[in-house]
Chains A and B, each alone.
Chain A
Amino acid sequence: MADDPTTMKIKQFIVEEFMPDVPADELDSDFDLLTGGVVDSLGLLKVVAWLEDEFDVGVDESELGPESFRTVAAIKEYVDQARAAT
């Protein structure tokens, strides 16, 4: 199944930023970015800053648990919910 545009964008960003040698479509939506060492706590801040920019969603610092950003699917869900709330 083809990815929706939001998921594609997220994947594109993650590989460009953290794994430039990897084609975006190889990144599985369920791949654990934290355990895989792709995104660390500093990387997480980059992801958040990008989300705010790209999707114009506010990320509340208090909600900023790493769990919300563990996988591409989780990030997408976060974006969807944040958009729905505004």
Chain B
Amino acid sequence: MSETTVTPLADHFAEQAERQPQSPALIWEGEPVSYGELLALMETSSAELEAAGLPADRPVGIRAKKSPEAIGLVLACLHARRPFLLPSIELASDTLAKLFAQAGTSQVLSPHGPRSESAASLRALVDDVRAEDTPGSDWPPASGAGDVTFMLTTSGSTGLPKIVPLTAAGVDAFTDWAAEQFEIRPGTVVANYAPLNFDLCLLDIWTTLKHGACVALVDQDRATQGAYLADLITENEVNVLQAVPMLYRLLVDVNREDGRTFPSVRHAITTGDKIPATTLAALPSLFPNARFYNVYGCTETNDSLIHEFVGLADGNVPSNIPVGQPLPGVTARVQTDDGEALEGPGTGELLVWTPFQTRGYLKAALNEDRFVSGPDNGHGERTFYRTGDIVRRHDDGTLTLEGRADFYVKVRGVKVSTQVVEQAIQEHPDVVEVAVVAVVDELAGSRLHAVVRREPDSKLNSLSLRQHCATRLARTEMPSTIEFVSEPLPKTSTGKIDRKRIKSDLERSDANGG
């Protein structure tokens, strides 16, 4: 692998700062931070990094909540071409310590100066892990270290999150695609909903700063407050909005209460989860001037497929949302159970190759089975990423998501996708949200349990819901038990329904005989 010759993203940012120092780069807690001010924050962090005299061939760790200072610190690392691990701050501290040790970080940095208490205590922890752990770090990656920039982690909820090193060229190509696709340029305001460690930030923060536009940052602590989010969009005249379906659901609720709409939004992107049809149908009245997209991607490959919804306002709301077409330069392949590429209609696992993708996890042993070699028409052999998503290719070539390969469970010997069941239940107009999990059953092996949050005034009960599902689901897909709740379902830090927690809570209460 060749060393990078790509201009660091931070240098593009610095050019923008020179060109338009007074323009807002960030909006943070209602106040603008200009390009000049953010450049100064980057330079402060750069000076601190340099003064620390860290070994040049080792990454650093960043433990940071979203803030202008944290963004300045990331820019400083990008500018110095120093790889950095940016994990979620919500991870347990021993998990963080293990990750920092695995990445071979020479230092854990915090944006609030080298003497920050939290960073200092974490540093000691990293040293402990290093002293204990015989296997040591996995740095440098076998595929080369010279062009690694961001190291993000997968959201994997079992075991240690996987470290995904991204290359400068991959980030560069992605940020250029995103800027062109969503018209991100000086004068554009892009909302950033996701936490700083998310791959989504490559679009809403890093593309935006590279191309001279302005990021309106959502405070992580208020990410579930609909009125706050609505104000942020209105007051800053946000043009580009990218978020998980939950954000849109919150805005729909605000709209129902005060009729507020968001005419400044030109591009509304939903990603990370399947958006319920009821939420999707409400979007055109919320965003009268927007185009709507579903974007499909994962940390390993970044965005891979895009679907633009056409005719939503005319009631053209697909119940099964297409994942869309490959982005320019992306190859998508549908692979059947026997490992053959599927030509024509049918179902199989989605494999993708993107110009933005990682060369593999930092821990090389994890790559086997996830990254596989295959022919790509006109490009010889390429390394595809196995997404673990099962898709259906229709007669007209569109792809729709059937579910996660690991969402398939066996109920009385029959393969069932819990996501298909969730979707059928979600189509009932009184259902706000739903989770279907497979729980262990002594007799049946596993059985399906549905947790349904219904509208506050709804009379929906298990009989009427079963009637609704009867025409939509096969008998094996019908949940054995249906539980109604009025509280929101537990969510992960990314705003997705936390099915693992629901399942473990259920199994715990089953074990207690309750």
Q: Are A26 and B478 in contact (CB under 8 A)?
A: no
**Which residue of chain B is the closest to A26 with respect to CB atoms?**
B463
Kindly state whether residue A59 has any CB partner on chain B within 8 Å: no
Residue A21 at the chain B interface, CB threshold 8 Å: yes
Is the C-beta of A1 less than 8 angstroms from some C-beta in chain B? no
* Inter-subunit contact A37/B443 (CB<8 Å): no
Q: With an 8 A cutoff between CB atoms, is A44 at the interface? A: no
Are A36 and B461 neighbours in the complex by a CB distance under 8 Å? no
Q: Is A52 an interface residue (CB 8 A)?
A: no
A32 to B470, CA, bound (A): 9
Chain B residues with Cβ below 8 Å from A21 are 461-462, 482, 484
Q: Is the CB of B463 within 8 A of A22?
A: yes
Q: Assess whether A37 is in contact with B466, with CB atoms less than 8 Å apart.
A: yes
A residues within 8 A CB of B464?
A: 26
B466 to chain A, nearest CB (A): 4
A41-61 CB contact bits vs B (8 Å, 1 = yes)? 110000000000000000000
The docked-state distance in angstroms from the alpha carbon of A41 to that of B480 is: 11
**Cα–Cα, bound, A32→B469 (Å):** 12
Q: Is B366 an interface residue (CB 8 A)?
A: no
- When C-beta atoms are compared, the residue in chain B nearest to A32 turns out to be B470
Give the contacts of B435-460 with A (CB-CB under 8 A).
Answer: 443-444
Give chain B nearest CB distance to A66 CB in angstroms: 11
Instruction: Give chain B nearest CB distance to A1 CB in angstroms.
Output: 20
B212 within 8 A of A: no
B462 contacts A34, C-beta separation under 8 Å: no
With A35-B475, A42-B444 as contacts: A22 and B462 at CB distance below 8 Å: yes
Contacts of B469 in A (CB 8 A): 36-37
Using Cβ atoms and an 8 Å threshold, which residues of chain B touch A19? 461-463, 466
Enumerate chain B interface residues (CB-CB to A < 8 A). 412, 443-444, 461-464, 466-467, 469-470, 473, 475, 478-480, 482, 484
Could you pull out 10 A-B pairs where Cβ atoms are within 8 angstroms?
A: A26-B461, A26-B464, A27-B463, A35-B478, A36-B469, A36-B478, A37-B473, A37-B478, A37-B480, A38-B463
